Amino acid sequence: MSKLMRIYADTSVFGGCFDEDFEQDSIELFDEIRNGRFILILSTTTMRELERAPEQVRQVVAGLPPEQIEMQELSDEIERLRDAYLDAGVVGPASKLDAEHVACATVALADLIVSWNFKHIVHFDRIRAYHSVNLVQGYRPIPIHSPKEVIET
């Protein structure tokens, strides 16, 4: 049996379940997680952001089977990598949490990141810049995609 792909989903994917443009693909991704296709890596960063989200968005996490979830706690290593992204200008200080999501996924050795954040995460220039910083810092590049690119159709 092959090892399950471990994916990191940022907060936008949870909120996407209730956005007309992203609803279908977001729901399908979480269905695939529930059905055992993926292991979902949740970070303390995501959980902190979800605390401020509407109840219906928080319920998406509550509806996922615990055996399909892996937690990634914030650490000094993650904070150092996040700060390296900021120092390199991958994103600006106002997007610190976006950089933290990528750092969490990188340190957790996720197979890929899924996000609907096309400005600060899923953007070809940013992806190249995240990869460059990862290589300089001794990490591997991490694939970054929208849920639409990951789900089975």
Which pLDDT tens digit goes with each residue over 65-90?
999 999 999 999 999 999 999 999 99
pLDDT over 90 (residue 129): yes
What angle is formed at CA 143 by the lines to CA 117 and CA 5, rounded to 5 degrees? Answer: 105
CATH number at residue 37: 3.40.50.1010
pLDDT over 60 (residue 1): no
What pLDDT, in 10s, does the model give residues 13-69? 999 999 999 999 999 999 999 999 999 999 999 999 999 999 999 999 999 999 999
pLDDT of residue 54: 95
pLDDT of residue 2: 64
Domain residues for the domain of 48 are 5-150
- CA dist 133 → 6, 11, 41, 142, 146 (Å): 22, 23, 22, 11, 21
Beta carbons within 8 Å of 147's beta carbon, 6+ residues apart: 9, 13, 16, 22, 25, 26, 28, 29, 114, 116
What pLDDT, in 10s, does the model give residues 83-122? 999 999 999 999 999 999 999 999 999 999 999 999 999 9
pLDDT of residue 152: 86
Number of domains forming the structure of the chain: 1
